[in-house]
């Protein structure tokens, strides 16, 4: 395999002169979504999107910020789990393939947050996620390197709320024997995209992605994958017409 496995960027981009036979996708390891062994909802979706079109999916696991950098430098084809127009220097498709349900995790003894009151809280999230660009009214926030010590951070009042997608918040809560001491509060949903390298190969793969997503949403064929992983299907009647931007839903 070329590109991320040691060839020069020029050689990697040069493969775009012919139809690519593979796509190198890079992602952070997310539980039951993009596991390092190639399992998970996200990887199953990618295989269903690309492989019937004759493009083999090759997955690679890296921290989020490194995944973004690899694509910006043309050393991988796309990264998984991008928010629309999240960074410059990469290509975004018309279609999203999933949505991130964003939750706030805090102590149950504290008032539940809303989008309007987020400015009253000291927030924390994983470095590189840039939630300040998507959540309204953010004033105080800190970025953490890892998810290992989120519950002690909340217990010792080093932050009021931790912000993350629902699967990661569930994983964190699974680390305590007293989950009732904490509260998950839904904040909003954000469409998830692939973000492609800005080169000829990336443009070709982006167009394949959009064509395949249009076919798959129209046929409903992706639904079985979401059902298999017990996750909500993001293209029901109110979502079938593609939404270009984040949905700013709010808890009551």
Verify that 134 and 88 share a domain, yes or no. no
Verify that 89 and 119 share a domain, yes or no. no
Verify that 159 and 214 share a domain, yes or no. no
Verify that 32 and 91 share a domain, yes or no. yes
Specify which residues 61 forms β-bridges with.
Answer: 27
Whether this prediction's pTM lies above 0.95 is answered by: no
Read off the pLDDT of residues 187-197 as tens digits, 9 standing for 90 and up: 999 999 999 99
Specify the CATH number for the domain of residue 134.
Answer: 3.40.190.10
User: Cβ(210)–Cβ(217) under 8 Å?
Assistant: no
Verify that 165 and 199 share a domain, yes or no. no
Average pLDDT over residues 111-137: 95
Average pLDDT over residues 93-108: 97
Q: What percent of the chain has pLDDT over 90?
A: 83
Arithmetic mean of pLDDT over the chain: 89
Verify that 22 and 131 share a domain, yes or no. no
Verify that 82 and 203 share a domain, yes or no. yes
**In-domain check, residue 250:** no
In the three-class reduction of DSSP (H, G, I as helix; E, B as strand; rest coil), residue 88 is classed as coil
For residue 7, pLDDT beyond 70: no
According to the model, what pLDDT value does residue 17 have? 54
**How many structural domains is the chain composed of?**
2
Structural domain boundaries, residue 88: 3-98+191-228
The CA distance from 209 to 203, in Å, is 10
The CA distance from 162 to 104, in Å, is 6
For residue 244, pLDDT beyond 80: no
**In-domain check, residue 235:** no
Read off the pLDDT of residues 216-238 as tens digits, 9 standing for 90 and up: 999 999 999 999 999 999 998 54
Average pLDDT over residues 108-135: 95
According to the model, what pLDDT value does residue 73 have? 97
For residue 1, pLDDT beyond 90: no
Q: Which two tokens stand for residue 228?
A: 């298999």
**In-domain check, residue 246:** no
For residue 242, pLDDT beyond 80: no
**In-domain check, residue 241:** no
**In-domain check, residue 150:** yes
For residue 76, pLDDT beyond 90: yes
For 238, counting Cβ atoms within 10 Å of its Cβ (0-12 exposed, 13-18 middle, 19+ buried), the class is exposed
Verify that 141 and 206 share a domain, yes or no. no
The CA distance from 215 to 21, in Å, is 20
Residue ending a domain, among 140, 166, 189, is: 189
**In-domain check, residue 233:** no
**In-domain check, residue 202:** yes
Cα dihedral across residues 80, 129, 127, 154: positive or negative: negative
**In-domain check, residue 242:** no
Verify that 122 and 175 share a domain, yes or no. yes
Kind and range of the H or E run holding 152: helix 150-155
Q: Which two tokens stand for residue 252?
A: 């009551």
Residue 179 to residues 105, 121, 129, 149, Cα–Cα distance (Å): 11, 21, 25, 15
**Which of 8-22, 101-115, 123-137, 196-210 is predicted with the least confidence, judged by mean pLDDT?**
8-22
In this prediction, residue 18 has a pLDDT band, given cuts at 50, 70 and 90, of confident
Verify that 43 and 159 share a domain, yes or no. no
Verify that 29 and 64 share a domain, yes or no. yes
Verify that 110 and 44 share a domain, yes or no. no
């Amino acid at each position: 395999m070329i590109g991320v496995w040691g060839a020069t960027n020029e050689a990697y981009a040069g493969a775009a002169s012919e139809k690519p036979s593979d796509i190198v996708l890079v992602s952070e390891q997310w539980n039951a979504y993009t596991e390092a062994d190639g399992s998970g909802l996200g990887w199953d979706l990618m295989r269903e999107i690309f492989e019937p079109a004759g493009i083999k999916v090759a997955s690679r696991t890296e921290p989020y910020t490194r995944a973004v950098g690899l694509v910006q430098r043309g050393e991988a084809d796309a990264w998984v789990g991008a928010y629309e127009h999240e960074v410059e220097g990469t290509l975004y498709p018309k279609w999203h393939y999933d949505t991130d349900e964003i939750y706030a995790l805090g102590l149950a003894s504290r008032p539940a947050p809303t989008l309007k009151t987020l400015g009253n809280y000291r927030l924390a999230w994983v470095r590189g996620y840039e939630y300040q660009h998507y959540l309204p009214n953010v004033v105080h926030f800190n970025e953490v390197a890892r998810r290992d010590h989120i519950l002690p951070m909340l217990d010792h009042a080093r932050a009021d709320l931790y912000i993350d997608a629902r699967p990661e918040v569930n994983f964190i809560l699974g680390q305590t024997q007293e989950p009732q001491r904490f509260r998950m509060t839904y904040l909003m949903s954000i469409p998830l995209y692939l973000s492609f390298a800005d080169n000829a190969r990336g443009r070709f793969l982006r167009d394949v992605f959009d064509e395949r997503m249009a076919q798959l949403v129209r046929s409903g064929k992706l639904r079985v994958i979401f059902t298999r992983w017990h996750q909500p299907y993001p293209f029901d009647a109110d979502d079938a017409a593609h939404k270009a931007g984040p949905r700013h839903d709010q808890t009551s």
